Amino acid sequence: MNIALWLERAGKSHGDRPAVGSGDQVLHDYAAFAQRTARLAGALRNRFHLNPGDRVVIAAKNCPEYLEILYAIWHAGLAAVPANAKLHPAELGFILEHSGARACFASSGLDEDLAPHAPKTLEQLVTIGSANYDSLLQADAIEAEPRDQDDLAWLFYTSGTTGRPKGAMLTHRVLSAMSHAYIAEVDQIAPGDPILHAAPMSHGSGLYIMAHVMRLGVNVVPQSGGFEPEEIFLSLRRWPRLSMFGAPTMVKRLVDSAHDGPVENFRTIVWGGAPMYVEDALRALDRFGPRLAQIYGQGESPMTITNLSKGDIANREHPRWLEKLASAGRPYACLNVIVADNKDRALPAGESGEILCRGDVVMPGYWQNPEANAASMRGGWLHTGDVGAFDADGYLTLKDRSKDVIISGGSNIYPREVEEVLLKHDKVREVSVIGRPDREWGEVVVAYIVGDAPANELDALCLRSIARFKRPKDYVFIGALPKNNYGKILKTELRTSDAARSQK
């Protein structure tokens, strides 16, 4: 089943209901939203001559047009490739090439930066909001293309330990299961309920678009297109029963903000992407009341492995309330989750091991990457690379991340891709990148360098090669990196010494 049918049906049955908001205004009702989508889909098929299954990249900042582009891609039977607009143009170029995309929609400004890195296989680069874009909306509308539930819908690029991103294949089945799970266990949506997309629509926030369309909700894009605490508090006055998704650092900024608004108009504030300090969760609960929920997931099982419900977070009377608050919650009903040993055998409560999961919400594999599939989907289980332990009540606590991923402000940063850039400097002999705990961002990137390269040159090198948010915030120059007998760098030892150094 094509997930775009949810919108097509809504346009016919409840066309006069609000569907898309911008700032404090209703921009489109469901009839207009569905019609614009069907016309844009017609242009993709009949003007661009794209075929079912072709990939289309969206390299854009949050904007109302993002919604109609995403649904037009599905309506036309194509696969969407939403890409993080904060990536370096060269990184976006890799995604364009690796996905084999024939068309790309890009924000104004980003289109010019992206063009020099576009592969020859890219046939169309459309600037959102341009006259060309507007002309596409004048095309003849088409009916939604029939799709099988196992056809590719969303190619979710997530960084890999090799330094190159991997494309997690999210099918129509995966997106449907994820949306039903969200409504059932995280955030009950009634017709007319809004969600504010203050976090990137290319990732976490965008994955909740479909559930709100299914339930006739309103997808609202802030006027700024991003996260501004003052704007969010003002939105509460216009949009009662408002939900939003954000990284812990975003929730913390809302808590710390001097701005205020009718917080009772929050329906749900969902945090994910990284654990939240218990102290910060308590402060958020004090300010916003019983409106907080936590999710744990990965791009490979989008937003859906475990969840800590609003009831669990607010239940101060439970004898183990603080322990639950420190956990990632319980597994969703739509998948199996185990903590396993190195032979993929389930471990009992209290013992730590790798977190494995399987179910309809888990990807079938990575795009054109059989080696990664063999490693990550071994035995039919998604091997998350995260280490955790269940307690006796079935709540999962995250212990560590075996893949060494750094999560800063909700964004995943893999050390090796930063290390590879730094090693291009001729005065860097060795390097190891780790995450340093940070109260504001969760973690910040720290590079330990063996060599005598000037820090400003390393900064410039990073800014030419990777996204700004991946750039190290601190360079520490040392004589030698800690290693074991086999020459492997001991990142655990490095983190321990870095913690001691930071406390001085």
Q: Hunting for tokens 């939003």 — which residue is that?
A: 244
Q: Radius of gyration over alpha carbons of the chain, in Å?
A: 23
Q: What is the 3-state secondary structure (H, E, C) of 332-353?
A: CCCEEEEEECCCCCECCCCCCE
d(CA 80, CA 44): 12
Residues of the chain by 3-state class (helix, strand, coil), percent to 5: 35, 30, 40
DSSP result, 409-431:
TTEEE-HHHHHHHHTTSTTEEEE
Tokens of 315: 């239940």
Q: Hunting for tokens 């649904």 — which residue is that?
A: 71
DSSP result, 72-133:
HHHHTT-EEEEE-TTS-HHHHHHHHHHHT-SEEEE-TTHHHHHGGG--TT--EEEETTSHHH
Tokens of 364: 């079938």
d(CA 135, CA 274): 41
d(CA 321, CA 30): 42
* Sheet containing 382-390, strands listed edge to edge, beginning at the edge strand earlier in sequence: 335-340, 353-359, 382-390, 396-401
Report the number of secondary-structure helices (H) and strands (E) in the chain: 17, 24
d(CA 91, CA 87): 6
**pLDDT tens for the 504 residues of the chain, in order:** 999 999 999 999 999 999 999 999 999 999 999 999 999 999 999 999 999 999 999 999 999 999 999 999 999 999 999 999 989 999 999 999 999 999 999 999 999 999 999 999 999 999 999 999 999 999 999 999 999 999 999 999 986 444 588 999 999 999 999 999 999 999 999 999 999 999 999 999 999 999 999 999 999 999 999 999 999 999 999 999 999 999 888 998 999 999 999 999 999 999 998 778 788 899 999 999 999 999 999 999 999 999 999 999 999 999 999 999 999 999 999 999 999 999 999 999 999 899 999 999 999 999 999 999 999 999 999 999 998 999 999 999 987 666 677 888 888 787 878 988 998 899 998 899 999 999 889 999 999 999 999 999 999 999 998 999 999 999 999 999 998 644 568 888 899 999 888 776
d(CA 409, CA 159): 15
Q: Hunting for tokens 């760098």 — which residue is that?
A: 489
pTM comes to 0.86
d(CA 66, CA 58): 8
Alpha-carbon distances, residue 263 vs 107, 235, 266 (angstroms) = 32, 10, 6
d(CA 16, CA 215): 14
| Coil, helix or strand at residue 503 | helix
d(CA 211, CA 14): 16
Domains of the chain (ranges; CATH) run 5-390 (3.40.50.12780), 406-503 (3.30.300.30)
Measured in Å, how far apart are the chain's first and last C-alpha atoms?
58
d(CA 63, CA 265): 23
d(CA 336, CA 369): 24
- Let me know if 343 is exposed, middle or buried by CB neighbors in 10 A (0-12, 13-18, 19+): exposed
| Coil, helix or strand at residue 159 | coil
